């Protein structure tokens, strides 16, 4: 049987630290809306991270991405108790596995004090030191106008875009107004579910996460922006995300074709073009056919070659011991859960 090959897939928006979240203790109270989900789950989790947790969550996330044929990850990171050096830790962990990254630290004023300044400094340190990335911002509703302006200024100065959650929930519905005049074509606008106006930039569509958080449908096909697919931290199985993106699109528009969602999947090459030159050999034929891929679950990457090096062979990572990575990540998850 002839097997199918494609370029490496790109995860257009990820939170690698969430690799440790699976199995975490239940929140103190049951979240009932988007804000309480953030407060009771994700903001508690990111506040408990240290650099060793960050290292092994990134390595596990990169390993799982590679096993799904994803060779490039655009990551948005936050760890308010371990800001300095965090982006380098993530870059090194993913490089050890053989996965490309574009990283950003999400600055925010929600912690008070000098957290936003330190986050901005981490972005600047990493970018000026040769790291590949963007300037990260958590979301407009957690930042002052001065912080948003400072992020935009730094990004323009170092020649990169801003990676920011935009109008994910109604609490951030004013993001469009506040970012108008700041956003540029090289910005990465994540979610845009409740965005009330056009902004320049690429939209990162995360259908599974939007459904999980019950924030609504972003209707990316209705916008003129370039669109990429992300997972918002729910792994990096981009073929699975494509299938869900198509199903959600089809629910909204019964005339829609899988080619639209496939265009979002391959849109990641506009942000990380090198991934298109990577080679993924799949265990089935026809994977590159959107109409076939949209209705065929369980497709598995057999071999993955990144920059000329085979980093996955017969489904097994060649650079790292997958069992060791999973065991070390489980140890760090236990430490994290104890803090929660």
Taking every pair of Cα atoms in the chain, the longest distance, rounded to a whole number of angstroms, is: 61
At 139, list the tokens.
């979301």
Rg (CA), the chain: 19
pTM here is 0.97
Distance CA 253, CA 246 (A): 10
pLDDT tens for 12-58 read: 999 999 999 999 999 889 999 999 999 899 989 999 999 999 999 99
Pair type for strands 309-313 and 316-317? antiparallel
CATH classification for the domain delimited by 5-339, as one of 3.40.1390.30, 3.20.20.140, 1.20.120.160, 3.40.50.12780: 3.20.20.140
For every one of its 340 residues, what pLDDT tens digit does the chain have, with 9 covering 90 and above?
A: 568 999 999 999 999 999 999 999 998 899 999 999 998 999 899 999 999 999 999 999 999 999 999 999 999 999 999 999 999 999 999 999 999 999 999 999 998 889 999 999 999 999 999 999 999 999 999 999 999 999 999 999 999 999 999 999 999 999 999 999 999 999 999 999 999 999 999 999 999 999 999 999 999 999 999 999 999 999 999 999 999 999 999 999 999 999 999 999 999 999 999 999 999 999 999 999 999 999 999 999 999 999 999 999 999 999 999 999 999 999 999 999 999 9
Measured CA distances, 257 to 4, 246, 284 (Å): 21, 8, 22
Closest CA to 75 of 210, 264, 184, 233: 233
Neighbours of 26 (CB within 10 A): 9
Neighbours of 218 (CB within 10 A): 26
Instruction: Evaluate whether 140 touches 148 at the Cβ level (below 8 Å).
Output: yes
Distance CA 146, CA 85 (A): 24
pLDDT tens for 248-289 read: 999 999 999 999 999 999 999 999 999 999 999 999 999 999
- Helical spans, DSSP H, in 132-198: 145-158, 175-179
Instruction: Evaluate whether 233 touches 220 at the Cβ level (below 8 Å).
Output: no
Neighbours of 273 (CB within 10 A): 12
Instruction: Evaluate whether 163 touches 155 at the Cβ level (below 8 Å).
Output: no
What backbone torsions phi and psi does residue 182 show, to the nearest 5 degrees?
A: -100, -45
Helix, strand or coil for residue 300? coil
Instruction: Evaluate whether 310 touches 302 at the Cβ level (below 8 Å).
Output: no
Distance CA 152, CA 160 (A): 9
Distance CA 326, CA 304 (A): 20
Measured CA distances, 246 to 205, 252, 253 (Å): 12, 10, 10
DSSP classification of residue 25: P
At 5, list the tokens.
């090959």
Where do the domains of the chain lie? 5-339
H or E element, residue 164 = strand 162-166
> CA quadruple 299, 300, 305, 307: dihedral positive or negative?
positive
Closest CA to 42 of 78, 90, 93: 78
């Amino acid at each position: 049987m002839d097997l199918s090959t494609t370029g490496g897939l790109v995860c257009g928006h990820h939170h690698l630290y969430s690799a440790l979240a699976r199995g975490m203790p239940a929140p103190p109270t049951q979240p009932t809306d988007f804000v309480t989900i953030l407060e009771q789950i994700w903001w508690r989790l990111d506040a408990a991270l240290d650099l060793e947790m960050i290292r092994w969550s990134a390595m596990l996330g990169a390993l799982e991405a590679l096993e799904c044929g994803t060779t490039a990850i655009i990551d948005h990171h936050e760890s308010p108790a371990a800001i300095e050096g965090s982006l380098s830790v993530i870059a090194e962990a993913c490089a050890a596995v053989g996965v490309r990254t574009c990283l950003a630290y999400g600055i925010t004023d929600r912690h008070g004090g000098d957290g936003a300044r330190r986050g901005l400094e981490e972005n600047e340190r990493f970018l000026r030191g040769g790291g590949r990335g963007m300037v990260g911002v958590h979301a407009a509703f957690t930042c002052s106008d001065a912080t948003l302006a400072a992020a935009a200024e730094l990004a323009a100065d170092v020649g990169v875009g801003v990676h920011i959650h935009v109008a994910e929930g109604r609490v951030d519905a004013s993001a469009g107004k506040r970012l108008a005049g700041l956003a540029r074509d090289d910005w990465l606008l994540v979610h845009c579910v409740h965005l009330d106006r056009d902004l320049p930039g690429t939209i990162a569509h995360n259908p599974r996460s939007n459904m999980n958080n019950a924030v609504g449908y972003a209707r990316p096909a209705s916008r003129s922006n370039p669109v990429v697919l992300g997972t918002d931290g729910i792994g990096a199985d981009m073929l699975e995300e494509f299938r869900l993106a198509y199903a959600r699109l089809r629910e909204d528009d019964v005339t829609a074709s899988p080619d639209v969602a496939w265009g979002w999947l391959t849109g990641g090459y506009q942000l990380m073009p090198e991934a298109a030159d990577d080679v993924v050999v799949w265990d089935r034929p026809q994977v590159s056919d959107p109409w076939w891929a949209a209705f065929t679950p369980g497709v598995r990457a057999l071999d993955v070659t990144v920059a000329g090096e085979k980093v996955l062979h017969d489904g097994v990572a060649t650079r790292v011991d997958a069992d060791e990575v999973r065991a070390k990540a489980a140890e760090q998850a236990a430490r994290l859960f104890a803090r929660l």
